[in-house]
Structure 1
Amino acid sequence: MGSQLIKCPSCGKTNRVPDAAAGHPRCGSCRQVLPWIVTAGDADFATIAEQSTVPALIDFWAAWCGPCRAVSPVLDKLAQEKAGQIKLVKVDVDRAPELSRRFAVQSIPTLLVISGGKVVARQTGAAPAPALRFWLEQALAATSG
Structure 2
Amino acid sequence: MSSAGTVVACPSCGAKNRVPSARPGKVRCAKCHADLPWLVTADDASFDEVVGKATLPVLIDVWAPWCGPCRQISPVVEQLSREFAGRLKVVKVNSDESPGISRRHGITGIPTLLMYRNGAEADRVVGAVPAGQLRQWAGRFAAA
Q: TM-score range by the shorter chain?
A: over 0.9
Aligned to 1:118: 120
| Deviation by residue 1:29-79 (Cα, 9 ceiling, x = unmatched) | 221100000000001101101231111100000111111111111011111
Aligned to 1:50: 52
Question: Which runs of 5 or more residues in structure 2 are unaligned?
Answer: none
For normalisation by structure 2, the TM-score amounts to 0.93
**Alpha-carbon contact 2:22-2:49 (below 8 Å) kept:** yes
Aligned to 2:90: 88
Kindly report which structure 2 residues correspond to 1:87-106, keeping only aligned pairs within 5 A, or say none.
87-106=89-108
Q: What SS does the corresponding residue of 2:113 show, helix, strand or coil?
A: strand
User: What RMSD in Å do the two structures reach over aligned CA positions?
Assistant: 1.4
Aligned to 1:65: 67
Q: Report the CA distance between 1:138 and its aligned residue.
A: 2.6
For normalisation by structure 1, the TM-score amounts to 0.92
Percent identity over the alignment is: 47
What is the distance in 2 between the residues matched to 1:133 and 1:52? 20
What is the distance in 2 between the residues matched to 1:66 and 1:137? 25
Q: What SS does the corresponding residue of 2:92 show, helix, strand or coil?
A: strand
Amino acid corresponding to residue 134 of structure 1 in structure 2: Q
Q: What SS does the corresponding residue of 1:88 show, helix, strand or coil?
A: strand
Q: Report the CA distance between 1:93 and its aligned residue.
A: 0.1
More displaced 10-residue stretch of structure 1: 5-14 or 108-117: 5-14
